Amino acid sequence: MRVMSETQTGESVLPPAPGAADYLALDFVNSAIALPGGQFIDLLGTPEAANHWLTERDLAPADAGVREMCATQLRSMREHIRALFAARTAGLPALPTALSAVNAALTRAPTAALLYWDETNGPYRAAPCPTTEILDHALATLAANAADLLTSPDADRLTACGSTPCTRYLLRHGRGHWCSTRCGDRVRAARAYARRTQPPS
Ligand SMILES: [Zn+2]
């Protein structure tokens, strides 16, 4: 398996999947990209890459100081949302752990600065920890967007890309079941090859 450098953006490899511009959650679940030939790109693979991904989407300042623990939380949320998308597209019940992870992210986000009491200066308000607050806010935003998508009429068009080994999700338009022309071309090429190499029955 070849892991590409973290500075490489997913956009340079595949354009955003249909619907990813409308739903941040789609963009999020597609931040792990499997390409033919065993290539794998994880746009959240390192703390720096995760910070960059969040900054590009206005979810964190460039100097947020995302640490490995935060990047791990993001990747874990991505798996939970992917599990919910998979359940929705397959018409299966949601994994309880995925559901509670999304709900925990939604309820954990602080809506207001907390109240503190200083021994000398008395009460004051502040965020518990800037980085924690940023990450919780980002996780809540991503979880809320996934919940929006799953409960909107668009959820009927939610589809996993049908071109192995691609694992991206998209919102289907018409009959297209692929996240990109590149993935569609690969399927068409494979079918044409199969037709050429199989004897007529
Ligand atoms: Zn694809």
* CA 16 / ligand 1 centre spacing (Å): 10
* CA 107 / ligand 1 centre spacing (Å): 33
2-197 — its CATH code? 1.10.3300.10
**pLDDT per residue as tens, the chain (201 positions):** 444 444 455 556 789 999 999 999 999 999 999 999 999 999 999 999 999 999 999 999 999 989 898 899 999 999 999 999 999 999 999 999 999 999 999 888 765 667 788 888 888 887 655 677 888 889 999 999 999 999 999 999 999 999 999 999 999 988 778 999 999 999 999 889 888 887 766
Q: Rounded to an integer, what distance in angstroms lies between the CA atom of residue 191 and that of residue 54?
A: 38
* CA 137 / ligand 1 centre spacing (Å): 29
* CA 2 / ligand 1 centre spacing (Å): 18
- What pLDDT, on the 0 to 100 scale, is given for residue 145? 96
* CA 170 / ligand 1 centre spacing (Å): 9
b/e map 152-187, b = 16+ CB within 10 Å: eebeebbbbbebeebbbbbbbeeebebbbeebbebb
Report helix, strand and coil shares of the chain as percent, to nearest 5: 50, 15, 35
- What pLDDT, on the 0 to 100 scale, is given for residue 184? 93
Q: What is the pTM of this model?
A: 0.79
* CA 126 / ligand 1 centre spacing (Å): 44
- Nearest Cα to Cα of residue 23 among 162, 136, 158, 133: 158
